[in-house]
Amino acid sequence: MESIEELFRKAIEDQVFTREERRTIARALQEEELDPKTLGHLKAQLFQMAGEEMDDMRNDRILEWLRQAVKLLVKAGKPIYDHQVYFSPGADCLRAICEQIQQTRSQLDICVFTISDDRISKEIIAAHKRRVDVRIITDNDKLYDRGSDVEQFAEEGIDVRVDQTRYHMHHKFALIDQKILLTGSYNWTRSAAENNEENILLTDQPDLVKPYQKAFQDMWRQMTPFQ
């Protein structure tokens, strides 16, 4: 309880409630699982903090801070998830993919129709070299497309599996450390970044991540190792 109050007091010092401060406090509230009586007491403390900070010159900023703080208490006990969306053409989708691969610490599962953007492939290989467990599922008909980097992945020692049907393995998603899902229409190609209307969704919501984990595992068992 005292630690959460301290977080609020620190956040009010500059009369601006930053996104990072809100996320930190929201997660602390979620972990504490405060009962209604404690939440009520904390709400009263917020009003006291705001009153202490108010003067004629800063009332609007303090009231906005108070609105954001009380909003966090209202949401306390509810899951706090992070969702981000990106669109192409442009560099946003490419940047999002590369940043997620760079931030991967232990496991990277990739299930993508085709991979031919060398900027992404470079990050995948770098992740493998820093001992991230990388697994790739891709479509067998796209293996030998111009620019495909699948053979290079296999040569680097990355586990790659492909389907062996006349149909396509057409998914485009990745799982980062089994906690973050990256999915959408975006193909991991240069044309997707430079020309196509595509999209990517990033989320850490477990209810969305888990079905993709299961789908990947099911396909991994069914697919054929690429030699």
| b (16+ CB within 10 A) / e for 113-149 | bbbbbeebbebbbebbeeebebbbbbbbbbeeeeebb
pLDDT at 126: 97
Sheet of 180-183, strand order:
83-88, 198-203, 180-183, 172-176, 107-112, 133-138, 159-162, 224-225
**Residue pair 142/148 in contact by the 8 Å Cβ criterion:** yes
pLDDT at 51: 75
Cα 182 from Cα 14, distance rounded (Å): 35
Cα 206 from Cα 179, distance rounded (Å): 7
pLDDT at 81: 62
Catalytic positions are: 170, 172, 177
Q: Indicate the DSSP class of residue 186.
A: -
pLDDT along the chain (227 residues), means of 10: 77 80 85 77 79 65 77 66 88 95 96 94 97 95 77 94 90 96 95 94 93 97 89
pLDDT at 12: 81
* 63-89 per-position pLDDT tens digit: 777 777 877 776 665 555 678 999 999
pLDDT at 43: 79
| Residue 200: Cβ-neighbour burial (10 angstroms; 0-12, 13-18, 19+) | buried
Whole-prediction pTM value?
0.66
pLDDT at 78: 54
